[in-house]
Amino acid sequence: MLGYAGRILHVDLSSGRIWTEVLNEDYAKKYIGGIGLGMRLYLDHSKPGVDPFSAENPLVLATGPLSGTMVPTGGNGHAFVSKSPQTFGVGETKAHGHFGTELKRAGYDAVIFYGKSERPVYLWLDDDAVQLLDAQYLWGKSPQETEDAIKKELKDAYIRVASIGVAGEKLVRIACVINEKTRACGRTGLGAVMGSKNLKAIAVRGSKDIAVANKDRLLELIKVQHERMKGPAARKYRTLGTPENVLVLNALGAMPTNNFTGAVFQGADRISGEYLNERYVAKVIGCSSCAMRCEHIAVVPEGPYKGTTTRIEYEPLWAMGPNCGVGNLDAILKGMDLSNYYGVDAISIGGIISFAMDLYKNGIVNKETVGLELNFGNAETMIEMIKRVSLREDFGDTLAEGVKLAAERIGNGADKYAVHIKGVEMTGYDIRGLKTAALGYAVSFRGADHNRHGAYGPDVSGKVNRFKAEKGRGKLVKETEDLYSIIDSIIVCKFSRGTYVKGFDDLAALYAAVTGIEMNGEELRRAGERINNLGRLINIREGLTRKDDSLPWKIMHVPIPDEGPSKGSHVTQEELDLLLDDYYEVRGWNKEGMPTPEKLKDLDMEDLAYIIKDKPVKRKKHTQTEE
Amino acid sequence: MANAPKTEAAKWKLVSCDPEKCTGCAVCEYICSLHKENVFSAQKSRIRTMRIHPWINISIACRPCSPAPFVTACPRDALKQSEETGVIVVDDEKCDGCSWCIEACDYGAVTLHPEKKIVRICDTCEGKPECVKWCPEEALDFVTRDIMAQKARIAVSKKLFKEAMEAQGIKP
């Protein structure tokens, strides 16, 4: 079992007790690593129905079996898993950079945090020496300042740090965990879970060797991957980066604007990947072991935000730009930088602000109640709101609950403008006219997300009629979901997905060369399916049902108004039901979206059949969806 | 084999890194440790990557000085510099890990092997450095100082005459 460190670290923040455990080989083979192993460990070590912010909610940090090796993009990932304060089901989130590499070098496949520390602490992992150190002096600092301060305190620039910002401390439900200053475990609010435990940061230094089972075979495979990464499969990420999407999606009428009111942005040319690379991008850097490099670092050249330096990606650019009606690129970049500074998910923050702007436009809130003119397109207000939400100031305190809970609190029909799935704010694909993607979004176990399934692929490429809901889409979603679950568990980068031309077979070959565990593509695919069922089972245990596989009100009731190919498109309840039925059937689940005992047996998961036998836990009122 | 005379240094090749191209991916560290020690380990790599700021990345290996100050600094005469290649050879029997050489090297190119407690320095893989071969960005090169200067001159000329070249249809 090379590749794996073979060791799990347990940290009880309440008592300060720290102990290690040998990694169960059966779990390694069945759940691989990353989110798969993380979710299984979470399930084993948690009770159903706990509040995400209570001491009873554990937080799991996991690496993948390839972490620490030279497998391109595979050497550097890590994942967090816990109960999400947004979905009240399973929350999982990954990041790349250098942190995962270092954690594996220190000798851990996973770290499980229990309880809650009495005062702010950070975990210092120096190979086998594990300590909880005082973080009072770091409280209130940004992740970037925290990283610098810890490196200074411990006197080693090669130490890697993952930490939360002020938003995590203040339990803002969209808080993230940031490593290497610009890399974020962004979605599902697990930074707030970390904050609820008074855990400011995790600092790691590892000096253990990472040995692999078959060195020569691995180098052969890596050589092939390097070549593919120089080719067309990775071209987008190497050249313009994900902001290339701006013009592509805009032309399709698939870039949501003004909180999913329209789907075409008039100022797209001035915020495009092309425009950015010409005027703003100063350098493209890479994560540990990566042979693609995609991280575009942009600098604002002039104006009031001059000198702002930040990593750029399409999603946050869209969220704080077109989705808020903002076309001022300088301000959007400032917004991205501030999101990292406060430690909030740069996608959800845009979703929250656009939600507030929509409420303002529709008279549900006004200047007296929110203290600001929250007009779509107002860049200064957008910037100010990032601060207010992150610091829970004024109206920001309500919005810091995320759009779903904020809408419940505001009432007065606000829920119609809350564009979320399972409590997680939408991402930058207008699924009103991307109906395979709409299914993928609806069934994602971590809520609204393109990265759980990539089901926009067949829609955008024209492989299917994207305006039509029909049988067969369930299979497409299932296939990409299973692949994405392996990508998130073996932990390679989604941007490299096109370089695994034989899909599971390529990934299985890498896995076998590193670990020595012979596994073929089909076995790995089954593991992917198993991991998807696992995510589903945790959600069922927490009381989520078919009703939660829903779409935002606007997606179902406001047809795309813009002239162009997508005009008039939206998803009806009948269409959604058709898609869900098809998907559940392909998955071997019942009509309620629950895995059948036969399916669990088929996937060698009978040990978890108790979850579907027990009645789902009655959820507390504040977590309930409308009955 | 005494310290090499200065005249020899012009022939020596070294692993040089172009920080404009370097992305900080550390593939050089991975391949170095795998090639030399059969494992992936940053500490066991003879080349190290440094990121000071998101856009300041560089990998550094031995840049054979003439004479190398740390060869002189070794109190146990464990280090010898090859006249032919400039490579500094460590006598594992004599080295006791005292690390005077680490202190004396201005480039941080000498590292202490974490288990053997003896120092390690880039040996250029007998003139065919693996890191150069594997660098995905071709940021690393194995060159003499003269060629290094020549490359810089070509780069700066291209920069200076970019417009003129474009006007002439010369591809930079």
Residue A512 and residue A67: Cα distance in Å, rounded?
A: 14
Tokens linked to A219: 């180098």
Number of Cβ atoms within 10 Å of the Cβ of B117: 12
pLDDT, position A622: 45
pLDDT band at B171 (very low <50, low <70, confident <90, very high): confident
SS (H, E, C) A378-447: CHHHHHHHHHHHHCCCCHHHHHCCHHHHHHHHHCCCHHHHCCEECCEECCCCCHHHCHHHHHHHHHCCCC
pLDDT, position A614: 61
Q: Are strands A59-63 and A110-114 parallel, antiparallel or unpaired?
A: antiparallel
Mutate to test the interface with A, among B17, B20, B29, B30 (most CBs of A within 10 A): B30
pLDDT band at B21 (very low <50, low <70, confident <90, very high): very high
Exposure letters A242-256 (e unless 16+ CB within 10 A, then b): bbbbbbebbebbbbb
Q: Is B137 on the interface with A (CB under 8 A)?
A: yes
Asked whether the beta carbons of A92 and A59 are under 8 A apart, the reply is no
Query: Burial of A56 by CB count in 10 Å (0-12 exposed, 13-18 middle, 19+ buried)?
Result: middle
Q: Which residues of chain A have a CB within 8 Å of the CB of B43?
A: 207
Give the nearest chain A residue to B35 (CA atoms).
A215
Kindly compute the dihedral angle of the four CA atoms of residues B19, B20, B26, B31, in this order, to the nearest 10 degrees: -90
Would you call A607 helix, strand, or coil by DSSP? helix
Q: Which residues of chain A have a CB within 8 Å of the CB of B138?
A: none
Contact across the interface for A69 and B40, Cβ inside 8 Å: yes
Of chain B, the end-to-end C-alpha distance in Å amounts to 45
Contact across the interface for A181 and B54, Cβ inside 8 Å: yes
Range with lowest mean pLDDT among A492-496, A602-606, B1-5, B86-90 = B1-5
Contact across the interface for B40 and A181, Cβ inside 8 Å: no
Contact across the interface for B136 and A230, Cβ inside 8 Å: yes
Domain ranges in chain A are 7-205, 220-425, 431-623
Give the nearest chain B residue to A292 (CA atoms).
B136
Q: Which residues of chain B have a CB within 8 Å of the CB of A73?
A: none
| Out of B23, B34, B43, closest to residue A215 by CB | B34
Residue A103 and residue B82: Cα distance in Å, rounded?
A: 39
Give the nearest chain A residue to B113 (CA atoms).
A207
Q: What is the pLDDT of residues B108-162, one digit of tens each?
A: 999 999 999 999 999 999 999 999 999 999 999 999 999 999 988 998 998 888 8
Among B92, B86, B81, residue whose Cα is nearest residue B119: B92
Cβ neighbours of residue A191 under 8 Å, at least 6 residues apart? Answer: A164, A165, A167, A168, A175, A176, A177, A178, A185, A343, A344
Q: What is the pLDDT of residues A330-367, one digit of tens each?
A: 999 999 999 999 999 999 999 999 999 999 999 999 99
pLDDT, position A35: 98
Tokens linked to A465: 């009629």
pTM of the model: 0.94
Q: Which residues of chain A have a CB within 8 Å of the CB of B31?
A: 70
Asked whether the beta carbons of A274 and A280 are under 8 A apart, the reply is no
Q: Is B30 on the interface with A (CB under 8 A)?
A: yes
Amino acid at site A213: A
CATH 1.10.1530.10 for domain A220-425: no
Q: Which residues of chain A have a CB within 8 Å of the CB of B136?
A: 72, 226, 229-230, 286, 290-293
pLDDT, position B164: 84
| Out of B41, B55, B136, closest to residue A210 by CB | B41
pLDDT band at B3 (very low <50, low <70, confident <90, very high): low
Kindly compute the dihedral angle of the four CA atoms of residues B113, B119, B121, B125, in this order, to the nearest 10 degrees: -60
Domain ranges in chain B are 6-144
Q: Is A501 on the interface with B (CB under 8 A)?
A: no
Contact across the interface for A290 and B34, Cβ inside 8 Å: no
Give the nearest chain B residue to A72 (CA atoms).
B27
Cα–Cα distances in angstroms (integers) from residue A366 to residues A172, A409, A475, in the given order: 23, 16, 46
Among B33, B30, B48, residue whose Cα is nearest residue A67: B30
- Going by the DSSP 8-state scheme, the letter that residue A592 receives in this structure is T
Low-confidence stretches of chain A (pLDDT beneath 50) = 616-627
Phi and psi of A121, rounded to 5°?
-135, 165
Contact across the interface for B55 and A287, Cβ inside 8 Å: no
Residue A167's DSSP bridge partners are none
Would you call A346 helix, strand, or coil by DSSP? coil
Tokens linked to A548: 């939660």
Contact across the interface for A289 and B51, Cβ inside 8 Å: no
Residue A83's DSSP bridge partners are A90
Please state, rounded to an integer, the average pLDDT across all residues of chain B: 90
Contact across the interface for A289 and B39, Cβ inside 8 Å: no
- Which region, left, alpha or beta, applies to residue A285 given φ > 0 means left and ψ of -120 to 50 means alpha? beta
Residue owning tokens 């077979």: A505
CATH architecture of B6-144: 2-Layer Sandwich (3.30)
Distance from CA of B50 to the nearest CA of A (A): 8
| Out of A182, A208, A289, closest to residue B54 by CB | A182
Tokens linked to A459: 């829609």
Q: Is A216 on the interface with B (CB under 8 A)?
A: no
CATH 3.40.30.10 for domain A7-205: no
| Out of A70, A181, A297, closest to residue B27 by CB | A70
Q: Is A419 on the interface with B (CB under 8 A)?
A: no
Contact across the interface for A210 and B39, Cβ inside 8 Å: yes
| Out of A69, A226, A295, closest to residue B136 by CB | A226
Residue owning tokens 């600094």: B73
Q: Is A311 on the interface with B (CB under 8 A)?
A: yes
| Out of A208, A282, A293, closest to residue B137 by CB | A293
Contact across the interface for B30 and A209, Cβ inside 8 Å: no
Contacts across the A-B interface (CB distance below 8 Å): 83
Among A483, A505, A348, A534, residue whose Cα is nearest residue A424: A348
0.95 surpassed by complex ipTM = no
Asked whether the beta carbons of A279 and B16 are under 8 A apart, the reply is no
High-pLDDT (> 90) share of chain B, %? 71
Query: What CATH number does the domain located at A431-623 have?
Result: 1.10.599.10
Tokens linked to A196: 């609820």
Contact across the interface for B24 and A215, Cβ inside 8 Å: no
pLDDT, position A66: 96
Q: Which residues of chain A have a CB within 8 Å of the CB of B27?
A: 70, 72, 289-291
Among A274, A266, A251, A277, residue whose Cα is nearest residue A322: A266
Residue B29 and residue B17: Cα distance in Å, rounded?
A: 13
Q: Which residues of chain B have a CB within 8 Å of the CB of A289?
A: 25-27, 30
Q: What angle do CA A585, A587, A592 make, to 5 degrees?
A: 60
Residue A276 and residue A299: Cα distance in Å, rounded?
A: 10
